Amino acid sequence: MTFRRNDLKDIARRAMTERGLLPDFSPAAIAQAHAIPGAVIETAPAIRDLRRLVWASIDNDDSRDLDQLSVAEPLADDIVRILIAIADVDATVARGSAIDDHARVNTTSVYTAAGVFPMLPERLSTDLTSLNQGQERMAIVVSMEVAGDGSVKDSDVYRAMVLNRAKLTYHSVAAWLDGHGPVPQAISEVPKLEENLRVQDRVAQAMKGLRHKRGALGLETIEARPVFDGDVLTDLRPGEKNRATELVEDFMIAANGATTRFLEAHTFPSIRRLLRTPERWDRIVALAHDTGGHLPAKANAAALQQFLTDRRGADPDGFPDLSLAVVKLLGSGEYGVEVPGEVQEGHFGLAVRDYTHSTAPNRRFPDLTTQRLLKRALAGAPVPYSTEELTELARHCTVQEDNAAKVERQVRKSAAAFLMRSRIGEVFEGIVTGASAKGTWVRTRNPLVEGRVVEGFEGLDVGDRLRVELLHVDAERGFIDFAARRVAR
């Protein structure tokens, strides 16, 4: 028996429909996408021409929807200007259009083991609104002047025309930066790009160090990715962070902060990305105690980060499991609206108050909405949304993001269930990832599979280590059932 990509895609489509997500574009949206003559190019005094810079994108090997580029400009006194170019999706996707209506319903691209269900038609997201190599594109540029210690001393936002000189991938760039691989050919073909990327890496490392000093959490979770031989599913392998993903992550966090400050300075509201103070801090304290650590009774991000740093050094092999438990106990992020004169709680995991999602408008609707706010602020025009509309949009985006995550998880579990079908009766080491009235879930370490504990779950809590026996799988429904056998030591 084989399990093909289309089998998983059928499961994904059903799961999306059940959760209020649209797997297909409407005929009107498809017709609209086909009718667009080409990428929008605008000229105006306020639009800067930055095509001369050595812009480059860094993304997954198979990514085709390129949302951002980066480049560095060293200045005096150990200051480096970091420029982030974000695809101007709003220039092509008109508010209230058929394409926009689809995006507003789903609010996100859905990335499943079967493939991507894009928020925008692929003619846009992988072509006309993607910052593809060798293609002139309109962009929103976030400019940040970063000191040697990683602090952002000044920032600005403006519109510009840009040109991607090199489409790079995380793995090849990380191997090169770490000294484990050669300079990627795409870098060596562009004069001055190698030097520029080393400057970017140095700045990103300084920014990361400063964020962690301020309490940003250095977590290391591992997600399984499907492996296909042609269209036949053959394996699940763990993906992981590397130096290149961290470079992009640190720049995007900084750009999102600069975006919120820009809107605030123009007395515009913003959709904030929030992660509230964890309600289950007491369980995080207990996990720390179990490993010989100590955390204060009151939630404290800086103290948690120091504990995580200590544990990474003491038990690097077990650190991903600890990270996973902490992530589950921190809870899910959400979207909220901050209007001038009011203050939202901020993002506990990043230890910042000013944070939004603005750097992926091809993939997320909150980012496209933020882009529309930015462009109106830049034009000196009125706010394009009422507070009530933004509040409802933030609520809807939170709900749909959760639905998309559940679809992605269900498809992963269907893939895992198929691959585990011959291992009924085997015992695996795992860690509890969820425990509530709705059920108890465990993730095994090898293979990297998550399932439900249907026997012996009494008294288990998030972070508990145990051994589980595989009882039953159902690939069609994504069910993987375990029985707890004994605590793992």
- pLDDT value at position 33? 97
Q: Is 9 helix (H, G, I), strand (E, B) or coil?
A: helix
Contact 421, 472 (CB under 8 A): no
The Cα 489–Cα 486 span in angstroms is: 9
Say how many residues make up the chain: 489
The segment(s) of the chain belonging to CATH 2.40.50.140 are 420-486
Q: Is 482 helix (H, G, I), strand (E, B) or coil?
A: strand
- The separation between CA 74 and the C-alpha centre of its own chain, rounded to angstroms, equals 28
Q: Is 198 helix (H, G, I), strand (E, B) or coil?
A: helix
Global pTM reads 0.90
Contact 161, 139 (CB under 8 A): yes
- pLDDT value at position 22? 98
- pLDDT value at position 151? 95
- pLDDT value at position 452? 94
Q: What would the pLDDT profile of 126-182 be if each residue is shown by its tens digit?
A: 999 999 999 999 999 999 999 999 999 999 999 999 999 999 999 999 999 999 999
- Concatenating the DSSP letter of every residue in 270-297 gives EEEEEBPPPTTHHHHHHHHHHTT----S
Which among 250, 290, 287, 257 has a CA at the least distance from the CA of 272? 257
- pLDDT value at position 488? 53
- The torsion angles phi and psi of 440, rounded to 5 degrees, stand at -125, 130
CATH assignment of 420-486?
2.40.50.140
In this structure, is the dihedral angle defined by the CA atoms of residues 124, 125, 127 and 129, taken in order, positive or negative?
Answer: positive
Q: What would the pLDDT profile of 435-487 be if each residue is shown by its tens digit?
A: 888 899 999 988 888 999 999 999 999 999 999 999 999 988 889 999 998 66
Structural tokens at position 307: 């504990």
Report the amino acid identity of residue 367.
D
Place of tokens 């040109």: 163
Report the amino acid identity of residue 120.
L
C-alpha distances in angstroms, 188 versus 165, 185, 300, 324?
A: 11, 5, 45, 38
Please report, in tens digits, the pLDDT of each residue of the chain (489 residues total): 666 778 889 999 999 999 999 999 999 999 999 999 999 999 899 999 999 999 999 998 888 899 999 999 999 999 999 999 999 999 999 999 999 999 999 999 999 888 899 999 999 999 999 999 999 999 999 999 999 999 999 999 999 999 999 999 999 999 999 999 999 999 999 999 999 999 999 999 999 999 888 877 776 777 777 777 777 777 777 766 788 999 999 999 999 999 999 999 999 999 999 888 888 899 999 989 988 889 999 988 889 888 888 888 888 878 888 888 888 888 888 999 999 877 767 777 776 777 889 999 999 999 999 999 999 999 999 999 999 999 999 999 999 999 999 999 899 889 889 888 889 999 999 999 988 888 999 999 888 889 999 999 999 999 999 999 999 999 888 899 999 986 654
C-alpha distances in angstroms, 384 versus 63, 93, 108, 268, 368?
A: 32, 15, 21, 10, 13
C-alpha distances in angstroms, 243 versus 33, 54, 212, 248, 413?
A: 37, 20, 16, 9, 29
Which among 431, 433, 435 has a CA at the least distance from the CA of 466? 431
For 349-410, what is the HEC assignment? CCCECCCECCCCCCCEHHHHHHHHHHHHHHHCCCCCCCHHHHHHHHHHHHHHHHHHHHHHHH
